[in-house]
Structure 1
Amino acid sequence: MMNTRQTISDRHLELEGISRRFGNVQALDGVSLAVERGAVVCLVGHSGCGKSSLLRIIAGIDWPDGGRVLLDGREISGPAGHVEPEDRNIGFMFQDYALFPHLNVTDNILFGLKRVGRRAARERCDEIIGRLGLNRLATRFPHMLSGGEQQRVALARALAPQPEIMLMDEPFSNLDRELRNDIRTETIELLQELGTTVIMVTHDPEEALSAGDMVVLMRGGRIIQSGAGAELYERPSCPYAAEFFCSFNKVRTACRSGYAETPLGRFAAPGFADGAQATVYIRPQCLRVNGDGHGVECTVVDCALIGEIEQMHIAVAALAEPLRIRSTDRSRLRKGDTAHVSVSPEQVLVF
């Protein structure tokens, strides 16, 4: 286990009790977070949860009403003062890329290097153009570029000053799905290769889970849960965290002797008193249907093939609502068929 001294020295960025209010809206409410050097952190949550507000405060574009931001242990926002954005060595990629339409690719990249001598700026610009494979685009203007090419140029401009931290606000949301996945992977790999600490805002649960070393789930200006993506997915701290990353079948029931009793079986419910009401959360992929009589009897309500996934709704006599099942198996069942359903209990949650 890492000792305390090592943990503190590895903290690249620290947020302590950050608060921000806009009129009657509490955008951020006591947010505290420690980010290790070289980590990829994904801030995730529904629109209006405070993700972008937090990013702007880290960048220095906005000021917190309360709390402190520390970079390598030095306060850059807080009671002791405010370091201007250009003096933080923090890069920022906006959702719309914010490229200057009247400047070509080379001049867009050079714009971020105004504080560097002309010769050094040109060398750095040529280096980053070559690194990102932008040579053939160097003299083109933004309107002549595809969405993916614009994204690369925006990344090049943000990387040119060699920032220690890169902030990214929904950087891939304007791209179609297949291109988004490819460019996201390429971008994250490049930033990791450079040793850059990354803080990325997204509203996409899959993107957060796949891209982040650390995932920070926000709601109403607060952090609901943070940790490795697998931890948030497999061990959510509350119903909101569970439902953000996965849709569930929910069965309302009562607890007895440390178990939630349902028509589908008994599930461990430690900490619940006898008679306490609880909701059992069952992932659609944890249900299995079969025709061999193993499990609880059910009736197929509908069945549809969605690419490699078969999605089915089944009715169980003792449950008011049909259950949804998603599986890569082909059941060959049809609407109206009788079968049996069983549950894999290891991913069942009880709240």
Structure 2
Amino acid sequence: MNIQLMKSDRHLELDGISRRFGNVQALDDVSLAVERGTVVCLVGHSGCGKSSLLRVIAGIEWPDHGRVLLDGREVSGAASHVEPENRNIGFMFQDYALFPHLSVTDNILFGLKRLGRRVARERCDEIIERLGLGHLAKRFPHMLSGGEQQRVALARALAPQPGIMLMDEPFSNLDRELRHVIRSETIDLLRELGTTVIMVTHDPEEALSAGDVVVLMRAGRIVQSGAGAELYERPSCPYAAEFFCSFNKVRTACRSGYAETPFGRFAAPGFADGEQATVYIRPQCLRVNCEGDGVECTVVDCELIGEIEQTSITVAALAEPLRVRSTDRSRLRKGDTARVSVAPEQVLIF
């Protein structure tokens, strides 16, 4: 799958990239074009190929087939391979990979060895000031918190002023609240600098919130790519739908272009009469109340999950319970009878 861009806008192009490790096909004919200054999130379950793709872009791995182009120049291909240090690419690892025996300043200077001493020191001082690391400059990694280590790793990767920043699960070692804050600060800074970012994550929420473009991978291939809202609202297949949201699934048959369910008929264009389909209903798109329209249901369980109340219900015509999620407090209890309805515009059919 390709993201089509004007040639002059392309900072990075992947053309039919394949990579095999023994019997494992890590990457299988991956093509992607990335616009300059774009934040791209590679997302998918473990083993889908996203980290392997990052390493191919960096030049750490060679593709078996296909080409990598930077600003239209081939840097990996059948007849060429530009070494990682000559690609003007920064790489930020999941574990930060800071040298334990070096201070913060010396960790940052390590990535500037190719510059003269004076220029390297100026560049180091500039990035330390930019990221507010002055009070940590003489400390060693073991003296830093997780968030501080992350910022130092970012400073070291940014100091050489790379055109592209590759980030492999850069926030996964932080607790939830700190992760949100550090991620926002980091992405804002990279956008301000105009840096093209390719970030690997396994977290659907992180991908949707951080990426201008989200690339969902599975078994070494791109399943779907585009804006986060597009992947969430218009997934191309069941895998894409279920990766970004949990669903209630109702098996049914189609008649006259509609899927018939206990909740009514939903448009199912392209399905033949009698063809089996699965209706995907997000838990937050079900409404449960004691009165009004809808189908009669029985409450099986009701639990509070932070801001969300999750209610499990049964409907006579369905074999499996349904999950309902809402920020409202229904005050329903196990055994209560209520009525449930569906917001039809939120239903997906596969």
* TM-score, normalised via structure 2 length: 0.98
Structure 2 counterpart SS, 1:130: helix
Instruction: Give the Cα–Cα distance (whole angstroms) in 1 for the partners of residues 71 and 40 of structure 2.
Output: 17
Aligned to 2:169: 170
How far does residue 80 in structure 1 lie from its aligned partner after superposition? 2.7
C-alpha distance in structure 2 between counterparts of 1:293 and 1:202, whole Å? 43
Query: Secondary structure at the residue paired with 1:215?
Result: strand
Aligned counterparts of 1:143 and 1:168: Cα–Cα separation in 2: 22
- Render the CA deviation track for 1:187-206: whole Å, top value 9, x for unaligned: 00000000000000000000
Equivalence for 1:129: 128
Aligned counterparts of 2:184 and 2:6: Cα–Cα separation in 1 = 28
Give the counterpart letter for 2:137 in structure 1: A
The answer for the alignment partner of 2:34 in structure 1 is: 35
Aligned to 2:229: 230
Which position in structure 1 is the counterpart of 2:208? 209
- Alignment partner, residue 74 of structure 2: 75
TM-fit CA distance, 1:347: 1.1
Are 1:293 and 1:339, in contact at CA under 8 Å, matched by a contact in 2?
Answer: no
The residue that corresponds to 2:217 in the other structure is 218
Residue identity matched to 2:97: A
Cα RMSD after superposing both structures: 0.8
Question: What letter is aligned with 1:349?
Answer: L
Residue 103 of structure 2 corresponds to 104
Q: Quote the sequence identity (%).
A: 88
1:274 equivalent to 2:273? Answer yes
Distance (Å, rounded) in 2 between the aligned partners of 1:306 and 1:24: 43
Deviation at 1:234, TM superposition (A): 0.3
| Correspondence for 2:285 | 286
Q: Which runs of 5+ in 2 are unaligned?
A: none
Q: Runs of 4+ in structure 1 displaced over 2 angstroms?
A: none
Deviations 1:157-193 (A, max 9, x none): 0000000000000000000000000000000000000
Query: How many corresponding residue pairs?
Result: 347
Provide the rounded CA distance (Å) in 2 between the counterparts of 1:178 and 1:291. Answer: 37
Matches of 1:310 and 1:174 in 2, distance apart? 28
1:344 corresponding residue in structure 2? 343
Residue 92 of structure 1 aligns to a residue in which SS?
strand
Using the alignment, how far apart are the partners of 1:79 and 1:212 within structure 2? 31
Matched AA of 1:264: F
> Does the CA-based 8 Å contact 1:28-1:54 persist in structure 2?
yes
3-state DSSP of counterpart to 1:153? helix
What are the within-5 Å matches in structure 2 for residues 15-54 of structure 1?
15-54=14-53
Unmatched 5+ stretches in structure 1: none
* SS in structure 2 of the partner of residue 49 of structure 1: coil
Distance 1:193 1:315 in 2: 51
What is the distance in 2 between the residues matched to 1:22 and 1:111? Answer: 31
Q: 1:206-253 deviations in whole A, cap 9, x for unaligned?
A: 000000000000000000000000000000000000000000000000
Equivalent positions of 1:129-148 (< 5 A) are 129-148=128-147
Q: Counterpart of 2:10?
A: 11
| Distance in 2 (alpha carbons) for counterparts of 1:43 and 1:293 | 44
Indicate the residue corresponding to 1:243 in structure 2: 242
Residue aligning to 2:188: 189
TM-score by length of 1: 0.98
Distance 1:116 1:126 in 2: 14
